[in-house]
Amino acid sequence: MDYQVCTSEGLALSVSNICADFLTARHLQQHPSVNHKPFILTICPLIVIGKQDRADLALLDHMHHVADAGYLSGDQQGCMKGTRRDVLVQIEQWSRDKQDKRVFWFNGLAGTGKSTIAQTFAEMCFADGKLGASFFCLHDFEDRSNLQSILPTLAFQLTHCFPQFRWELLPVLMENPDVGQETLCSQMEKLIVGPFQATKTHTLIVIDGLDECQDKEPASALLSILSRYVDKIPFVKFFITGRPEPRIRSGFRLESLRPHTDMLKLHEVQPSLVDSDIKLFLKTWFTEISKNRSDCNFEEDWPGTYHIDVLSRKAAGLFIYASTVIKFVSSPLHLPNERLHLIYSLRQDTSHEGRSGIDLLYTQVLEQAFHDVDSHDHELHSRFRSVVGTIVLIFHPLSINILSDLLSNDCTPPRISTSLRTLHSVLLVPDSTDDPVRVFHKSFPDFLTDPGRCTDHRFFIDPLVHHKEILVACFDVMKKRLKRNICKLDAYVVLSKIEDLPTLRATHICETLKYACQYWTHHLAKIPCSSDGGEDIQSAIKDFFTTGFLFWVEVLSLTGNLEIGLHALYNIEQWYKMVSQMQKFYSSLCSCLSRQEFPASGQLIASNLSWIILTQSRTALQGYTMMPPYFVPLHPGSMCTIPQSSHTGLRWWLGQLNGEHAFIQFLALDMNLPLHTGTTTLQQLVLIVKIS
């Protein structure tokens, strides 16, 4: 007879299982996340079992499941000691509460640290003897992003945790060994609900990252199944984390699940608590870096409280930002001080952090959001860019209703809501269309508006294009709605004497008009004077000053924002100065070329934004100092006689010009045959000029 060593509960033991539990116990004793009962590892007296029990265990082992999906898989770190205490206390209180809220949705935007907290909570529950099973979903792994794998894996873990559960499940597997391949409904009924109903087992199940699973249902398929059976297993609690994406939100809104669900929005936790945790996280890791880099000299208490505060403000509640900073600074191939200086010296820029990890997160969120969308659906992608481009570029958050009123065209509130439906992971989209839509972290707009970071043209937001669209929309709103005595006040009335002025303002000056009046010049300042459509903008400004200027001043006065008008006029003046300088530059350049008797002086043959291409017949540009930074010197009044490249029919030079009205870069092309030795004249010169 063959024998196998098992526990007194009939569960076969392996050295790896004992070691894993022992190491977990040691980790929890040395690094407790919050106060909880001491973990005591107990190995019961061993008994000897026979072939039948081994066959039962083999049957369980052959059941479809994912071996490394639990909290012990090792690919997810828990919270650093001392951080996230308040959040963990709230979750632990729910786990001990015996009321009907048996489902907990741990809701959080991308990068807020949901999985890290879920890992720590699972460790706590295991230490307290409450954890029955766990499944940590991962988008990058096929088996861990497959909904069909979750319930069989949970059942497999439950059989190793509760012998009575195993005894109820074995007959099911004997009758149908492939039950793990059946529908979710069948899996839930046979693998989870049936054994729990028979055993009345009290336990807790953790499912992390449900949004990472492939799911084609409008409401999460797993949550839909859970909503049907949650009443039938009243002794089981489910802790589920997930971004507020459409399927997840719809699933938790199901009528049969909502009464049983408690929720915590991680991105709405008190900011001061999150900042304190991020500071502790950064300080601890920087200390670790300074200890491990013996090749570097660090000041005491490096990098200092001031720089920790700067980084915490840049993190703005996004834990993945802090983690990415540590990853960036701790690069073994760079000096930590220099890497850190790159980050805090550019306080309004997140490019270094983005390329070190955050951009991958945003790319994944957007690709998942548009996974089922036809890549050739240009109308949908155009609407996305228009709506999201407005949200990330406006200077004051607006509600969906106001965004619709501003953008008009086909951007109705329902269409805007639909465009934002898949973006709740990166934008704060309220339930009410009257509340403002907000950007959670500055790194998201930075990502969308940088073509070097957002390389998918479907999602790239060109600031030049969309600032212009918003400016035109502001002009349209003001043209239609500005009018004399907009609040219908009595003649010669003093504003301070009007008792119901707030009511009159709310009645006659809508929020859309208010935004347009306050911020249109801010958008104007973001548009280069050399951009396409500059003449149309000048025409719109002229029309505004001709017909609506006084009415605009009236609205600013009524809304208490008259000082904004002074800054607005300054912005307009600066923009027109730029236009004037451009015009003077063109005139000066053409005049300079004319004095050299160029027969085709100033002939414009192409134009693209701030680039212009001019054709001329000689090289001297008297009056300009040519200072190329990387090429052979060009002397005032003449082009260099040594070409940078020489081919039959082509020579070229690169350089810079310091002119009277502008600083330009140029590329000079000689389109003729090679010049004779000593000759300094180019017979056909093409200048490609860029305005700096």
Instruction: Record the pTM.
Output: 0.64
Most confident option among 136-140, 189-193, 440-444, 647-651: 189-193
pLDDT of residue 233 exceeding 90, the answer is yes
Same domain? For 69 and 187 the reply is: yes
Given a contact cutoff of 8 angstroms between Cβ atoms, the answer to whether 201 and 164 are in contact is: yes
Q: Give residue 540's Cα distance to chain centre.
A: 35
Instruction: Give which of 382, 374, 372, 432 is closest to 410, Cα–Cα.
Output: 382
Q: Find residue 603's DSSP bridge partners.
A: 615
| Residue 494 to residues 489, 497, 501, 516, 564, Cα–Cα distance (Å) | 10, 5, 11, 25, 20
SS (H, E, C) 577-618: HHHHHHHHHHHHHHHHHHHCCCCCCCEEEEEECCEEEEEECC
Given a contact cutoff of 8 angstroms between Cβ atoms, the answer to whether 657 and 628 are in contact is: no
Q: How far is residue 258's CA from residue 541's CA, in Å, rounded to a whole number?
A: 53
Same domain? For 408 and 556 the reply is: no
214 φ/ψ angles, rounded to the nearest 5 degrees: -75, 125
DSSP letter at 33 equals S
Q: Give residue 83's Cα distance to chain centre.
A: 23
Given a contact cutoff of 8 angstroms between Cβ atoms, the answer to whether 105 and 252 are in contact is: yes
Interstrand relation of 103-107 and 236-242 (parallel, antiparallel or unpaired): parallel
Query: Residues near 685 by Cβ (< 8 Å), separated by ≥ 6?
Result: 615, 616, 617, 618, 619, 668, 669, 670
How many CB atoms are located within 10 Å of the residue 405 CB? 20
Same domain? For 275 and 264 the reply is: no
- Of 302, 322, 347, the last residue of a domain is 347
* Amino acid (one-letter) located at 540: A
Question: Could you tell me what percent of the chain has a pLDDT over 90?
Answer: 34
Q: What's the structural domain count of the chain?
A: 5
Q: How far is residue 374's CA from residue 381's CA, in Å, rounded to a whole number?
A: 10
> Which pLDDT band, with edges at 50, 70 and 90, does 227 fall under?
very high
Same domain? For 158 and 83 the reply is: yes
Question: Could you tell me what percent of the chain has a pLDDT over 70?
Answer: 73
pLDDT tens digit sequence for 71-125: 988 777 899 999 999 999 999 999 998 776 899 999 988 888 899 999 999 999 9
Same domain? For 225 and 288 the reply is: no
Same domain? For 279 and 259 the reply is: no
Q: How far is residue 19's CA from residue 342's CA, in Å, rounded to a whole number?
A: 44
205 φ/ψ angles, rounded to the nearest 5 degrees: -120, 135
DSSP letter at 37 equals P
Q: What is the mean pLDDT of residues 190-216?
A: 93
Position 607 in a domain: yes
* Amino acid (one-letter) located at 254: L
Position 357 in a domain: no
- Of 347, 373, 389, the last residue of a domain is 347
Position 161 in a domain: yes
Q: How far is residue 397's CA from residue 519's CA, in Å, rounded to a whole number?
A: 12
| Residue 166 to residues 199, 226, 546, Cα–Cα distance (Å) | 10, 21, 83
pLDDT tens digit sequence for 309-365: 988 888 888 888 888 888 888 888 788 888 888 777 665 666 655 565 678 878 878
- Of 245, 268, 291, the last residue of a domain is 268
Same domain? For 111 and 11 the reply is: yes
E strand or H helix at 545: helix 534-547
Same domain? For 511 and 616 the reply is: no
Q: What is the mean pLDDT of residues 401-425?
A: 88
> Which pLDDT band, with edges at 50, 70 and 90, does 572 fall under?
confident
Write out the residue range of the structural domain in which residue 327 sits: 271-347
Q: How far is residue 353's CA from residue 461's CA, in Å, rounded to a whole number?
A: 19
- For position 380, which CATH number holds? 1.10.10
Interstrand relation of 236-242 and 203-208 (parallel, antiparallel or unpaired): parallel
- What is the structure's pLDDT at 546? 86
Q: Find residue 428's DSSP bridge partners.
A: 438
pLDDT of residue 62 exceeding 90, the answer is no
Interstrand relation of 236-242 and 438-439 (parallel, antiparallel or unpaired): unpaired
Position 241 in a domain: yes
pLDDT of residue 393 exceeding 70, the answer is yes
Q: What is the mean pLDDT of residues 151-174?
A: 93
pLDDT tens digit sequence for 445-460: 888 998 888 988 899 9
Number of H-type helices and E-type strands within the chain: 26, 16
If DSSP codes are grouped into helix, strand and coil, which group holds residue 302? coil
Q: What is the mean pLDDT of residues 430-455?
A: 88
Position 358 in a domain: no
Same domain? For 215 and 145 the reply is: yes
Instruction: Give which of 337, 358, 426, 418 is closest to 383, Cα–Cα.
Output: 418
Same domain? For 21 and 38 the reply is: yes
Given a contact cutoff of 8 angstroms between Cβ atoms, the answer to whether 431 and 437 are in contact is: no
Q: How far is residue 473's CA from residue 476's CA, in Å, rounded to a whole number?
A: 5
Q: How far is residue 456's CA from residue 507's CA, in Å, rounded to a whole number?
A: 43
Same domain? For 445 and 489 the reply is: no
Find the DSSP H helices in 394-500: 400-407, 413-420, 443-448, 463-481
pLDDT of residue 161 exceeding 80, the answer is yes
Q: How far is residue 75's CA from residue 209's CA, in Å, rounded to a whole number?
A: 14
Position 587 in a domain: no
Position 658 in a domain: yes
Position 356 in a domain: no
Most confident option among 47-51, 277-281, 603-607: 277-281
Same domain? For 509 and 376 the reply is: no
Question: What ranges make up the beta strands (E) of 50-126?
Answer: 103-107
